[in-house]
Amino acid sequence: MLPRMNTKDNQSKTSFAGERIAKRLARCGVCSRRDAEKLIESGRVAVDGKILTTPALNVTEDQVITLDGKPVAAAEESRVWRYHKSAGTITTSRDPQGRPTVFEKLPHEMPRVVSVGRLDFNTEGLLLLTNDGELARHLELPQNAWLRHYRVRVHGEVDPAKLKSVATGVTISGIRYEPVKIEIEKGKEEGTNSWLAVTIREGKNREVRKIMDHLGLQVTRLIRTAFGPFPLGKLPRGGIEEIPRRALREALGKFFEKDKKKK
């Protein structure tokens, strides 16, 4: 059994050097910073052979980090992929219910990646994946949030006045949602079903579905068509394509500049 690290003994060496262990794990693509903290608290992470008991620790490039006894690879250059998620898959690495996960569907040659936010089980369309958990966190922060665009097929009577009622935001079950833009796609009616174009900024849990329910509409299909400047385009269902480095830098210049200064 590995010894447990006394972070107070290590503090003098690392307080003014390196970076927080959870952030390092996130940059290495292990998981998000929040999930990294959970891994540490459960005793699965060790530094230089000593198990951590708290994420309140800085680490340097010279220290060896292991997860479940296996070395964590050094952080690589930040990369992002567009992935066309199918309905009937869950955005998690493991599912207690045994449902198929997004990560099981990825090509074997893919590096370890995390998702930028999530799409629920029955939602399809664009999902961004990255090998940099810190970048994923940056994209998910409310102040950095990009617009998310969806196509939504709904069942029920579509009332334009009701659609406009959420244009300045809405509170549902005590949760405040920021302004939502909803437009009817003309000529896309399918019997009692209609297609709507929906744009949101926050991406809270099941936000689009809850707003449609609030408007008295039943969602029969939900597709994310774009996340910020990155469109789903003609990417086939289950398809994956890396975003070129130049396009990343154009869209995320501030993030890369900040990361460069820290180095």
User: Which active-site residues does the annotation give?
Assistant: 120
Sign of CA dihedral 59, 63, 68, 74: positive
Contact 80, 243 (CB under 8 A): yes
The pair phi, psi for residue 25, each rounded to 5°, is -60, -40
Sign of CA dihedral 241, 246, 250, 252: positive
Strand partners, 130: 80, 114
DSSP string, 67-122: ETTEEPPPP----EEEEEEPTT-BSSS--TT---BTGGGS-TT----EESS---TT
Return the H-helix or E-strand segment holding 213.
helix 207-214
The pair phi, psi for residue 160, each rounded to 5°, is -55, -35
Contact 58, 17 (CB under 8 A): yes
